[in-house]
Amino acid sequence: MEELLEIGVAFLLVAIGGLLAVKLRQSVIPAYILCGMAIGPYGFNFISNPGIIEFMSKLGVIFLLFFLGLEFSVGRLMRAGKPIISSGILDLAINLPMGYLLGIAFGWSQMESLFLAGIVYVSGSGIITKSLTDLRRLANPETELVLGTMIFEDIFIAIFLAVLSGISLAENASMASISLSVIKSISFCLVFIVIARRYGRRIGEIIEIESDELFVIFLFSMLLLVAGVADMIGISAAVGAFLIGLVFAETAHVGKIEEKITSFRDVFASMFFFAFGMTINFWAFGDVWLALLIAVPLSIVGKVFSGGMAGKINGFSRRASLNIGFGSVARGEFSIIISNIAMGAAYLAPIGAFTAAYVLILAILGPILMKVPDVIYDRL
């Protein structure tokens, strides 16, 4: 009984925190994390049975990645064309190595630095899309480039996660073991990509289930089965969920799936961010504040530079280029997911606390910085 009560309180807190964030026109993600920190073991230590919350948090990651897979389409990226490819490559070439070098400079291990590279590189697409809508920038010509670049990032991150979980879950640190593990996860991905391409339509016909109830239950079963198999053979469940999303993306049911699953995603994702917050020790911020002081400004500069350059080489006006740069600063859910996988692989050290604070700061600063070009140009 106690468990139910605790989970009820957790959800209530998350709901109130989220409402407050929305009132303050902020992303809900930092609010969820803060709630987790507040009543987690390092805060008021209210949750005595974290088991169920951790399980829901797992489901949260699975749903988040499943949606990423659903919306993912190589064809769409190709159609978007050269500007997005060039912008994506520029973004990758600047921000990913920067993250890695930061990790090395902080004296973190090679693996931890690799994870940091991903955390620093990937933008918070949810936060950015919402801010672009609020700022009435959706119709601007440069917005296509901003959103397209984030699709590029998502694709890269999916591959990156598969490889990274391959490396981190290798049995030992020998080169042979690592490469075997990486090959295993890449071939697992390839199998699914082939299935998606070849049999997508056929699978669509199979899941042509009239009853909405059974449709959702069947979907759940597929999702959990593939995530479970991925987990079992040493590729993270998140990657498995992404891959099954890819398969369903090729069926005719994408719209229906999104409609039926969105609320599940929202509920479990909130528990994911909450559970992530629970693992964060306030006092650990003392160990990472210096790293944050260096990483946050550099992360902002990195995105403003790569985005601004991308705008410039694609012939956008100076103001539009600045919009691209300042528009890509926010970090969000995917940085947290990468950090979560890192922690799962027992690369603890400071990554959790660092990422929590890092996302907290950049999820709030990101939308504010998006207005910088307006301020510059309206004053002139």
Partner 1 sequence: MREIKEADLPGVGRKYTLERTETGNKLVVIVHNDGKRELYCFGDGNELPCSAVIELNDVESREIGAILAGVYFKPKIVKDLEAVLSELVIKWYKLPKTSPVVNKCIGEKKIRRRTGVSIIAIIRGSESIPNPTPDVYLREGDTIVAIGTEEKLPAFEELIFETG
By CB under 8 A, name the binding residues for partner 1.
71, 76, 79-80, 125, 129, 132-133, 136-141, 143-144, 147-148, 150-151, 317, 319-320, 323, 374, 377
> Shortest approach of partner 1 to residue 147 CB, angstroms?
5
DSSP code at position 210: S
Place of tokens 């990486």: 182
242 Cα distance to chain centroid: 12
Between residues 316 and 358, which has the closer beta carbon with respect to partner 1?
A: 316
CA–CA dist 207, 220 (Å, integer): 12
Taking the least distance from each CB to partner 1, the nearer of 184 and 371 is 371
C-alpha of 333 from chain center: 4
CB of 89 to partner 1, least distance (A): 18
CB nearer to partner 1: give 79 or 198: 79
Q: Which is nearer to partner 1, 66 or 106 (CB)?
A: 66
Q: How far is the CB of 189 from partner 1 (least distance, A)?
A: 21
* 23/136 with CB nearer partner 1: 136
Q: Are 146 and 37 in contact (CB under 8 A)?
A: no
The alpha carbon of 255 is separated from its chain's Cα centroid by a whole number of angstroms, namely 22
Return the number of the residue (132 or 336) whose C-beta is nearest partner 1. 132
What is the rounded CA–CA span in Å between residue 147 and residue 145? Answer: 6
Output 113 or 143, the one with its CB closest to partner 1. 143
Minimum separation from the CB atom of position 351 to partner 1 (A):
27
What letter represents residue 311's amino acid?
G
What the block records as the tokens of 221 is 């079963």
Local structure of residue 48 (DSSP, 8 states):
S
DSSP string, 318-352: HHHHHHHHHHT----HHHHHHHHHHHHTT--TTHH
CA geometry: angle at 173 spanning 189 and 340, to 5°?
Answer: 55
Are 121 and 100 in contact by the 8 Å Cβ rule? The answer is no
Alpha carbons 225 and 244: distance in angstroms, whole number: 10
CA distance 291 to 282: 15
CB of 144 to partner 1, least distance (A): 5
We find the least distance from the C-beta atom of residue 148 to partner 1, in angstroms, to be 7
| 351, 359 contact by CB (below 8 A) | no
* Nearest CB to partner 1, comparing residues 127 and 360: 127
Min CB(139)–partner 1 separation in Å: 3
What minimum distance in Å lies between the beta carbon of 248 and partner 1?
17
